[in-house]
Structure 1
Amino acid sequence: MTPARPSSTRKSPSPRKDARKTTKAAPGADEHRVDLLEAMLRIRRFEERCVELYSATKIRGFVHLYIGEEAVAVGVNEALTPEDAIVATYREHGHALARGITAEAVMAEMYGRTTGCSGGRGGSMHLFDAGRRFYGGNAIVAGGLPLAAGLALADRMRGQNGVTCCFFGDGAFAEGEFHETANLAALWNLPLLFVCENNLYAMGTALGRHQAQTDLAMRATSYGMVAWSVDGMDVEAVEQAAQRAVEGIRTGTGPHFLELRTYRFRAHSMYDPDRYRDKAEIERWKSRDPITVLMDRMRESGAPVDKDAARIERRIAAEIDDAVEAAEQAPEEPVENLLRHVTSAPAQAVI
């Protein structure tokens, strides 16, 4: 598995059409593609509704949109089992929905209601569901990486065959936590999948302005782990790469690293004026919208994608409408409960 060659320029690259994988549909592929399409559309429509709700001040605080990157969360989740663990970033709505956390639980959390997946205490950046082994939602850049190493180590010490998948952005390469975690994961042969969502901008700083070597997969190989780059705008390419990596990890070949080359169509956050990116660059990447890429491929195979998409859109619209209604009716946490989960209960004296 050979990593991509070093980039010859520090400028932000254009979307790479040559990285797109086109294969003939295998038996059952059309049905699976419909599932992939639905998962990506659910994320897209959920976040578009969040934009409306944020503008109406129904949702407060920081909101970081995943629009444009849906293929990464959906494709990687297809390779994981319920026994595997996931650690995500603050841009994690897509990861949570792809994992199976309901739109209702996520929307209630966005509203800060007690029915949210984190009890209304986390909000947009701290989605959490231990039952689904979804461990955040972490607001600190690279902060989830050491947690992922701990989860992977714990699984191995318990004799479990789980894989821990940690999502993070290209900005994490500037943090010591990435390098410490990569070193320990390789040293201890941990069952850890590093998934770098390289959207070319760490907040407002272009990759070439904060990294001397912009081929992140090649840099990961310096820690002795298998690593390669993938077209992050192609959900099927992401799924295939993730399956390959997870299979390698399960057979004991140590941690693997995937650099998913993707792009966020919206600004870093709802507060960001997005003045650091060229508008033409954004439009070039939008021409490789992962939803459009998949739908075009389905049309080429003769699948009735437009009919399928219309049916999916109706179902998702109703699902999100129900989630918003439930969130608006859900209770806020009573003031007298605000200290719950802040400190542990006092120990009872033993007489």
Structure 2
Amino acid sequence: MSPTETMNTDLALRIHRTMVRIRVFESRVEELFKVGKLPGFVHTYIGQEAIAAGVCAALGHDDYITSTHRGHGHAIAKGMELGPIMAELYGKETGACRGRGGSMHVADFSVGMLGANGIVAGGLGIAAGAALSARYRGTRQVAVGFFGDGGINKGTFHEALNFAATHRLGVVFVCENNQYAQFTSRLRTTAVEDLSVRASAYGIPGVTVDGNDASATYRQALEAVVRAREGGGPTLLNMETYRFGGHYVGDAEVYREAAEVEDRRRSDPIHRWEQVLTDGGLMPDGLRERIWEEAEQEVASAVRFAEESPYPDADTALENVFAAVPVTGRA
């Protein structure tokens, strides 16, 4: 389907810019981690960009998302600035969470990004809770819970879907089915081939989507978001994709063949989208190069911001860890 059938030129190019910004950011993060600039672990989103870009393009600014340990792409697509994300990865005071969260716990409530989560499927209950909050407050906000194919076998997945379906909450559950749960093939852990059939147990729609097709991810997400916003309840979207890198940067990847990775790279979501835009006359000469150059410059600026920022003062380590207890005057 041509993008002009589902979106205007501005939206099509905005989705492209988002994917490119994610790719350039994550590629630079890989480089920085390999030379010892970033602490901890990092899990990059390279190869899955069409999902975050397409889904978040279907959301409003005040809608919510919850994310995973592989959350930089979601954060960027939902509108977080690159500087605070990069500074958070560096552990700097100017980071989105003042350097306390790091790569796996980036959050910015001001844009509806309720947080990446190091616990597999840990964000799904939070997404259902956000939708319940919107119900009580009488708003039309929608929540999206991103998770991986490994998360579809966690108890929290079933609990969140059952609760959201029972109360017809405005949640869209987006499974980023990249074929591997850490180091284990989906084929060895999941009894069903089409993960979208899990929705039938809860009486909600389930759809399998080509997660490397930006038009398809946007179109199916928009349909699910509209349904949720209008009171139609939750949807499960099984978006099939592939992570180009290992589970984390530095992963030896002994569990999959190099030929498999190379074959999957031929379906690069950014290259596919660029071809669609070019064929549709939406990518004039020179525009592709400008978009990539702008992303490179923005990421370089984010790195400078992070490297020039101070580390947190050690004396503030316990700030925001414990809630203040009011003094009652009782012994």
Question: Shorter-chain-normalised TM-score: which range?
Answer: over 0.9
Q: SS of 1:25's equivalent?
A: helix
Aligned partner of 2:47 in structure 1 is: 68
- Assess if the C-alpha contact under 8 Å between 2:2 and 2:276 holds in 1: no
Shift of 1:304: 3.7
1:129-185 per-residue CA deviation (whole Å, 9 max, x = no partner) reads 111121110000011111111111111011111111000001112211001111111
Using the TM superposition, give the Cα deviation of residue 309 of structure 1 relative to its aligned residue in structure 2, in angstroms.
1.3
**TM-align CA RMSD:** 1.5
1:184-333, aligned counterparts within 5 Å?
184-305=163-284, 307-333=286-312
User: Any idea what SS the aligned residue of 2:121 has?
Assistant: coil
Specify whether residues 69 and 333 from structure 1 end up closer, same or farther in structure 2 by C-alpha distance, changes over 3 A only.
Answer: same
Q: TM-score, normalised to structure 2's length?
A: 0.96
Q: Give per-residue Cα distances to partners, 1:231-264, cap 9 Å, x unaligned.
A: 0001111000001111111221111111100110
Give the deviation of 1:287 after TM superposition: 0.7
* In 1, Cα distance between equivalents of 2:10 and 2:326: 55
Where does the alignment leave 5 or more consecutive residues of structure 2 unmatched? none
Q: 1:238 to 1:28 in 2, by over 3 A?
A: closer
Match of 2:286, SS state, is: helix
Identity %: 41
Is the Cα contact below 8 Å between 2:2 and 2:280 reproduced in 1?
Answer: no
Q: Are the aligned partners of 1:58 and 1:111 in contact in 2 as well (CA < 8 Å)?
A: yes
| Match in the other structure for 2:78 | 99
1:43 equivalent to 2:18? Answer no
CA distance in 2: counterparts of 1:176 and 1:322, whole angstroms: 41
Q: What letter matches 1:141 in structure 2?
A: V
Structure 1 residues 264 and 212, CA, compared in 2 at 3 Å: closer, same or farther?
A: same
Shift of 1:346: 4.7
Q: Please give the secondary structure, in 1, of the residue aligned with 2:144.
A: strand
Q: How many equivalent pairs are there?
A: 330
User: C-alpha separation between the residues in 1 aligned to 2:283 and 2:130?
Assistant: 42
* Cα distance change of structure 1 residues 304 and 185 upon mapping to structure 2, 3 Å threshold: closer
CA distance in 1, matches of 2:157, 2:325: 37
Alpha-carbon distance change, 163 to 349 in structure 1, aligned in 2, over 3 angstroms: same
* Other-structure match for 1:8: none
Instruction: Please give the TM-score of this superposition, normalised by the length of structure 1.
Output: 0.91
Is the contact made by 1:66 and 1:93 (CA closer than 8 Å) also made in structure 2? yes
> Displacement, 1:305?
4.6
**Secondary structure of the residue that 1:195 maps to in structure 2?**
strand
TM-superposed CA distance for 1:69, in Å, is 0.1
Separation of aligned partners in 2, 1:317 and 1:117? 21
After superposition, the Cα gap between the structure-2 partners of 1:40 and 1:162, relative to the gap in structure 1 and judged at 3 Å, is: same
SS in 2 for 1:327: helix
Question: In structure 1, the residue corresponding to 2:281 is in which secondary structure?
Answer: coil
Instruction: Supply the distance in 2 between the matched residues of 1:25 and 1:243 (Cα, whole angstroms).
Output: 15
- Structure 1 residues not aligned, in runs of 5+: 1-21
* Higher mean C-alpha deviation, range 252-261 or range 25-34: 25-34
Q: Does structure 1 retain, via aligned residues, the 8 Å contact 2:3–2:215?
A: no
> Could you tell me which amino acid in structure 2 is paired with residue 186 of structure 1?
A
Write the distance in 1 (CA, Å) between the matches of 2:170 and 2:138: 12
Cα distance, 1:76 vs structure 2: 0.1
Residue 96 of structure 2 aligns to a residue whose secondary structure is coil
Q: Is the 8 A contact 1:170 1:197 kept in 2?
A: yes
Once the two structures are superposed, what CA deviation does each residue of 1:264-313 show, in whole Å capped at 9, x if it has no partner? Answer: 00000014211111222211211110111011112212344551111112
Q: CA 1:216 to 1:128, structure 2 compared with 1: closer, same or farther past 3 Å?
A: same
Question: What residue number does 2:135 align with?
Answer: 156
